[in-house]
A and B are shown apart, each in its own frame.
Chain A
Amino acid sequence: AQTVTQSQPEMSVQEAETVTLSCTYDTSESDYYLFWYKQPPSRQMILVIRQEAYKQQNATENRFSVNFQKAAKSFSLKISDSQLGDAAMYFCAYRSARVPGTYKYIFGTGTRLKVLA
């Protein structure tokens, strides 16, 4: 069975600085998707970034980028120029692409990011 591990329950970053959130996963599959979701205090789940395992190029979305290391099964999220609005819980998630029809997502336990003014 696949697992997703976020080993940092909480992180802090100074406004305008850069922070990296860690995520590791375990799978025997070669084809899958990885995601980072943001959950602000409003409780909404907001997609931050998505990575297809078959793509070697790391995904980027404005100030958010990932470091995808497939062999190491690592998927870290880098937030550049941190803003107060980035303060939230961040979840890493895995979804298999090899088994059509299951669409199961597996989530990590989350990392709470605090942004200091």
Chain B
Amino acid sequence: NAGVTQTPKFQVLKTGQSMTLQCAQDMNHEYMSWYRQDPGMGLRLIHYSVGAGITDQGEVPNGYNVSRSTTEDFPLRLLSAAPSQTSVYFCASSTRNQPQHFGDGTRLSIL
């Protein structure tokens, strides 16, 4: 049982580049979300989805795009990377009445 799988684990980008962080879960969870974790600020919600075809913005959505074409996958796209997006990114999934399960995170550095 893989749980929540995030790829890649580490990535270095140059300013202006685009990339996609992948997130997949095999637990048939309807709810999936993306967070960023910065020192002293805890986890902040970027985007979330309550089911295939349904997404919504969280607290810090600017510069990020998401889609949810299947229940299993919830990729996060950085459209034009900026140094302010240097962070650790977590994907999580859950059902309505159960706690979130987290992936292992992606450490992203933007030069």
Q: Assess whether B82 is interfacial by the CB under 8 Å rule.
A: no
Most B-side CB within 10 Å, residue of A9, A100, A105: A105
B75-102 interface code vs A (CB 8 A; 1 in, 0 out)? 0000000000000101010101001101
Asked whether A104 and B48 contact (CB < 8 A) given A45-B102, A109-B41, A109-B42, the answer is yes
Contacts across chains A and B counted by CB atoms under 8 Å? 47
Bound-state Cα–Cα, A43 to B99, Å: 18
Instruction: List chain A residues, Cβ under 8 A from B45.
Output: 104-106
Is B50 a contact of A103 with CB atoms below 8 Å? Answer: yes
Instruction: List chain A residues, Cβ under 8 A from B35.
Output: 107
Bound-state Cα–Cα, A96 to B44, Å: 16
List B residues 55-76 near A (Cβ within 8 Å).
58
A19-56 interface code vs B (CB 8 A; 1 in, 0 out)? 00000000000000101000000111101001000000
Asked whether A104 and B40 contact (CB < 8 A) given A44-B102, A50-B99, the answer is no
Mind listing 13 A-B residue pairs with CB under 8 Å?
A33-B99, A35-B99, A47-B99, A103-B31, A103-B50, A103-B96, A104-B48, A104-B58, A105-B92, A106-B45, A107-B42, A107-B44, A109-B41
Which B residues are closer than 8 A to A by beta carbons?
31, 33, 35, 40-45, 48, 50, 58, 88, 90, 92, 94, 96, 99-100, 102, 104-105
Which A residues are closer than 8 A to B by beta carbons?
6, 9, 33, 35, 42-45, 47, 50, 91, 100-110
